[in-house]
Structure 1
């Protein structure tokens, strides 16, 4: 089942998503939705409902894991499965690090993964700004961990190139396009 926006909001409440995490998730939803709708217009067979719902719920477990060693991405995938949201589970579980080889054409999972990498708190930023933040916030001054984070962002750059090859705007124009063509999450039902 793919939940409506209203159902996503209800799950955010149920899992006590903190306001700042909710605002981040809303912006990731808008960015992912804008990219997905542009790619659909370019002929890619994507589900906007799946993209938006997955983006809204990508951090569903973040609040619960803040003071623990649990991984919010993995727990988020489990939460999706517990609620019968099987279509979202893998996308949510892999929004931090993608597993396996990338498909030839970008999927809903890569769009949500990329959108999350472009949103710092609730602002659209370049990948480099988000990378710097992740290293400062989560890098623990561990050079091995820094290298893994940089490798993950190298994959985000590769996905960025593939996504924007099918769009009529560049990565640098994403924030401007989002302001111009505000992506209404409410269009996906209440």
Structure 2
């Protein structure tokens, strides 16, 4: 996959501009981290990592908690809305990472699909198999819209936008702790750079 292929996917699935901007910011941050891992002696597939980050929210519209595209800050077409409604119906009840991974697998990008599938918030509780999975997950948790912010700020924002009221209990606190543990693991790993 290359950036032209990514752009084709964005067009095919009418990925909204604000989601594309987020994906690009996540990709830039993930690649920066990946380069630090390489400098520390780790093997990282930077090309796959970048492409996975660029498409990790390709189908983000399928599980938007609040889906009101006519209220977005830019004009959306009737064609965009029809596409998004079809996608929301087809992938109803699925996490957008799973929906995107399904598409990637069908197109022969199995390794990338696995990395994309594992960027969902609860994955930190279930664990990761590769540094690429950890890096994409963490980079996504550090980018609020299209800006890199602290992990604390991003987690707070994610709760406001994505966690149903009344669900900020012990489970969510444990996930937050695991996110901070992952952050420490990542920065401990890249501190060994020569």
Is TM (by shorter chain) over 0.5? yes
Count of residues in Structure 1 that have an aligned counterpart in Structure 2: 164
* Ranges of 4+ aligned residues in structure 1 off by more than 4 Å: none
Q: Does 1:118 align with 2:116?
A: no
Matches within 5 A, 1:17-28: 17-28=15-26
- TM-score normalised by L of structure 2: 0.77
Q: Structure 2 residue aligned with 1:155, among 178, 181, 186? A: 178
Q: Does 1:136 align with 2:134?
A: no
Q: What is the aligned-residue RMSD (CA, Å)?
A: 2.0
**Structure with the greater alpha carbon radius of gyration:** 2
The separation in 2 between residues aligned to 1:149 and 1:13, in whole angstroms, is 35
Q: Residues 149 and 12 (structure 1 numbering): CA distance in 2 closer, same or farther, change over 3 Å?
A: farther
SS at match of 1:142: coil
Q: Does 1:53 align with 2:51?
A: yes
Q: Residues 39 and 21 (structure 1 numbering): CA distance in 2 closer, same or farther, change over 3 Å?
A: same
Contact 2:118 2:128 in 1 (8 A): no
The separation in 2 between residues aligned to 1:59 and 1:147, in whole angstroms, is 27
Deviations for 1:73-92, whole angstroms, at most 9, x for unmatched residues?
Answer: 11111111122111111111
User: Residue in 2 aligned with 1:33?
Assistant: 31
User: Residue in 1 aligned with 2:80?
Assistant: none
Matches within 5 A, 1:1-190: 3-66=1-64, 67=67, 68=88, 69-96=93-120, 97-98=122-123, 100-102=126-128, 107-143=131-167, 146-167=169-190
Shift of residue 39, structure 1, vs aligned partner: 0.6
The separation in 1 between residues aligned to 2:171 and 2:119, in whole angstroms, is 15
Contact 2:49 2:136 in 1 (8 A): yes
SS at match of 1:70: coil
The separation in 2 between residues aligned to 1:53 and 1:148, in whole angstroms, is 31
The separation in 2 between residues aligned to 1:146 and 1:125, in whole angstroms, is 24
Contact 1:139 1:146 in 2 (8 A): no
Shift of residue 102, structure 1, vs aligned partner: 4.5
- TM-score normalised by L of structure 1: 0.78
